[in-house]
Amino acid sequence: MVDQPDWDLRLGYLIHDVSRLRRMMFDRALAPLGITRSQWWVLAFISRKDGLPQVQLANELDVGKVAVGALIDRLESSGFVIRQADPVDRRVKRVYVTKQARGFLEKLRKETDKFNAKIVNGIDRKQLEDASDALLAMKHNLLAMSDGTVANMSDDDEGETQRSKTRKKRRAVA
């Protein structure tokens, strides 16, 4: 048996454990606002792609149609989204963010910023940038291992790649 480097075992565990702990603590932070992380995630996504058909929303979030339907039901009953029939195909339901949700999203963004600031407290900016770059590279490697979705990089990934390049240029100049 070949000896594996220590990081080989620890890295995967740390990625998983940090993600799990972040989700758990984020749910606690959002609880006083009356929204779950899953609801926030769907609401934030809809706000960026307002009017998306519910089925497409499920596909883009990689969530089952029933699960996304239940989340939208709760968001709709809270007054954060509305469903409207598509003008061309009445069977298609499009999901829109309400005015109430837009104000709530601002509040959520502020809470998220505070939460994220607590998570990175005491960590040097360069370390955070390096960690972000490494995780983004791992994500791209994983996508390359899948069925070719690397060519379909999301706008968020492209923006993060550009920010990473900008950070590297700034460090080279400094």
The 10s digit of each residue's pLDDT in 37-68 is: 889 889 999 999 999 999 999 999 999 999 99
Spatial contact of 174 and 126, defined as CB atoms under 8 Å apart: no
> Residue 76's pLDDT is what?
96
Q: How much is the pLDDT for 133?
A: 96
pLDDT, the chain, mean: 85
Residue 7 pLDDT > 90: no
Write the CA distances from 136 to 53, 67, 92, integer angstroms. Answer: 29, 28, 35
pLDDT higher than 60, residue 165:
no
Q: Residue 113 is encoded by which pair of tokens?
A: 């910023």
d(CA 76, CA 70): 10
Supply the pLDDT for residue 151. Answer: 47
Q: What is the identity of the amino acid at 126?
A: K
Please tell me the pTM assigned to this model: 0.66
109: pLDDT strictly greater than 80: yes
Query: If phi over 0 gives left and psi between -120 and 50 gives alpha, with beta otherwise, what is residue 163?
Result: alpha
Q: Is the pLDDT of residue 160 over 60?
A: no
Closest CA to 154 of 72, 60, 24: 60
Backbone angles phi, psi at 120, to 5 degrees: -95, 5
What's the gap between Cα 19 and its chain centre? 12
Average pLDDT over residues 86-100: 93
Instruction: Name the band, by pLDDT with cuts 50, 70 and 90, for residue 146.
Output: confident
3-state secondary structure of 121: coil
1, HSE (Cβ side, Cα atoms, 13 Å): 3
Share of the chain above pLDDT 70, in %: 79
Per DSSP (E only), the strands in the chain are 52-53, 81-85, 93-97
Is 17 a residue whose pLDDT tops 90? Answer: yes
Q: Running DSSP on this structure, what letter comes out for residue 78?
A: T
- Decide if 85 contacts 41 (C-beta within 8 A): no
Find the length of the chain: 174
d(CA 56, CA 29): 29
Highest mean pLDDT among 105-109, 163-167, 169-173: 105-109
